[in-house]
Amino acid sequence: MTMSNTGGRRKPPTIHDVAREAGVSRGTVSRVLNGGHYVSPAATEAVNAAIRRTGYVVNRHARSLITGRSDSVGFLLTEPQERFFEDPNFNVLLRGCTQALAAHDIPLLLMLAGTDDERRRITRYITAGHVDGVLLVSSHSGDPVAEELRAAGVPLVACGKPIGLGSKVSYVAADDRDGARDMVRHLLSLGRRRIGVVTGPLDTPGGVERLAGYKEVLLEAGVEIDERLVVPGDYSRASGEAGAERLLAQAPDVDAVFVASDLMAQGVLTALHRAGRRVPEDVAVGGFDDSPAAVAASPELTTIRQPWDRISAEMVRVLLAQIGGEDTAAVILPTELVKRGST
């Protein structure tokens, strides 16, 4: 209860102080601050000098009150959060978005909608206009929060293609299908023909697309698609292990596996090792994501790298464009094949 904060916080200078210091009016200072049109060079310089001398920083609350903008955006996570926070790619995304926004002097508000209560609170916060737009991370099908925000006309950019196609929301995503194509083509080029696949969850666009790419390339190459070579997974390591076992049982002559995530691929390696199959001699294994799991595995995983740094930058670019009133479309970015020891 005692007075702390030694020194205390002094009252910061206002636009009035700057105006007085520079010998001009508030209006002129404001014009120098924003845009800067219709101001003489002399006045501009005087104002800038005064700003430097006084250490003036614009009061964003006052500005927001009148402009209606908040000059901040939310980074919203609606999924069960554990999964994302364990995912290194998610961290790259969060970091990338924060930095890209910082370059525009826009702070990022982290919003975690785990419980229904949080969901309500956050929805209210956003629709009340306390952020100008939202970067959405959610693999969930037809996210109700996203729907509501979209309905309220809140600028919104998702990471990855949202599956609820009813509402058209802009999104930025890696080209899952093309990545899968690259990997399977790579396996074919190694002479493999009995190529299995452990899919991702098929209620997510990523899972669907990666499987589609796999099938496309095989069809193009004239390789018949054997449904015994297709087993489902859910991106977890355990499901990779189970998937590989099922694969070995259903199609013992499998000579390569395209696994829809690195984490699952780790499980596949474990199962293959236990079954006495050598990697890559007997069975080549290709992953997806280029996560730390890829280099932690032995042998190190050949995988598909998604351009997460570019994804975050694009999400911010698209969101700001949308806030600026432009119509925005989806952005699909190319992936990259990273060859390592497992193929």
Q: Which residues lie near a copy of itself (CB under 8 A)?
A: 1-9, 12, 57, 59-62, 64-65, 70, 72, 75, 81, 85-86, 88, 91-92, 94-95, 98-99, 102, 105, 107-112, 114, 118, 121, 124-125, 128-130, 151-155, 292, 322, 325-328
> Which of 4, 6, 10, 11 is close enough to bind DNA by CB under 7 A?
11
From residue 4, how far is each of 1, 7, 9, 12, 258 by CA, in Å? 8, 9, 11, 19, 61
- Please give the single-letter amino acid code of residue 159: C
Q: Is 264 in contact with 239 (CB distance < 8 Å)?
A: yes
Alpha helices in 126-175 (DSSP H): 144-151
> Which of 20, 30, 85, 226 is close enough to bind DNA by CB under 7 A?
30
Interacting residues with DNA between 157 and 186 (CB under 7 A): none
Q: Per DSSP, what are the bridge partners of residue 257?
A: 196, 285
Q: Is 269 in contact with 279 (CB distance < 8 Å)?
A: yes
Buried b (16+ CB within 10 A) or exposed e, 315-327: bbbbbbebbeeee
Q: Which is nearer to a copy of itself, 1 or 42 (CB)?
A: 1
Binding string, 48-87, against DNA, x = CB under 7 A?
A: --------x-xx--xx-xxx--------------------
Structure tokens at 35: 């845009």
Q: Which is nearer to a copy of itself, 204 or 328 (CB)?
A: 328
Per DSSP bridges, beta strands 336-338 and 303-305 are antiparallel
> Which of 3, 10, 42, 155 is close enough to bind DNA by CB under 7 A?
42
Among 16-24, 251-259, 271-279, 312-320, which window interacts with DNA (CB under 7 A)? 16-24
Q: Which is nearer to a copy of itself, 102 or 225 (CB)?
A: 102
Select from 295, 283, 236, 285 the least CA-distant residue to 258: 285
Q: Which parts of this chain interact with DNA (CB under 7 A)? A: 11, 14-16, 23-31, 33-34, 38-40, 42-43, 56, 58-59, 62-63, 65-67
